[in-house]
Structure 1
């Protein structure tokens, strides 16, 4: 299975207010193994970031001014993500921004281009109800070092989330094995507990009884006594 762990950085919180994507980071997993085939782009949003967002990601307008616009990145991003299952923390946020970017270009939304989206925030809330489930909190919970994470960065956050996702879903394989073993055990038990079919008893004929008697008599003579079958 091909899965892509994805994260974005944006100029603000709401694409409907004109906020744009400024960074995309993706990490590829195939059969739950990191491949190193990653995707990373900084994007010129053609606008300034909200000051509060700038404090989070640190990507200044000056730094982004010579980066490609989303229209220049959209095709390569679609090709990279095509048909994959996406893994995103708080997926509605990132997908909302990316879908809005594609809609601006009159292209099919990203949601329509991928096979499925797993929201690790929703998953974490189910596994750890009532607890903090931010990416930093999950890194702490699963023993994943994020000490090098001073500012938010899309590629770095995707790499951390990949580790978190693998740790958080590690029990799935063993659960499936246990379930299968339980199923096989139940099947075996069912087979054992099934009633034995009626046994057909065939009685010996008189001729067979006479022949058997003669054989035993011959044995008696041979041992000069009584054989055990006549005792």
Structure 2
């Protein structure tokens, strides 16, 4: 007899089949075949490899950001990153982040606080990677103009990293504050305190810097993949 878990698995596969059928039937196959015949498969291969590198680098970043005592295999982290990437590309805004936190919490066994801490560190590292690219563009590209997003990254990414670093070293203050409250407010504050307690990587400059470096490489791989697709078509 099928259990609830089995029913969810079958339902997931059924939804996947429906989405694939809808996607396939909505394509203009005449144009698809024409574009495929004219495409440069060397560049397409490079684009596929670049996108695969993004997933590998993201998984490596998460392994660096696991909280102390977190034991998760690289293969499991990679599978979670792959699912998160799929949800991010095909789902609504923040669906990928929500899926990543849920899977880190349940499948990886990190719990809500541990999973959220990994996602926070990942987003900080990504912000600093974008900050690095904006700075490089400002230095190397003649006539580079700061847009609203660029200014937000320039100011926000370092400020967020600094704020989390300070909180991570003052975690006892949050714990004391959470102990003063009861009910749902106390539960929320304890979750925040537990999450900050698990920001281990940001207390270790070498490990956190390595994570930022991997995030920068992710951005390089993204740019390479986009350029390869453009050249292929």
Please, what TM-score do these two structures have when normalized by structure 2?
0.21
- Structure (1 or 2) with the larger CA radius of gyration: 1
Please, what TM-score do these two structures have when normalized by structure 1?
0.21
Higher strand share: 1
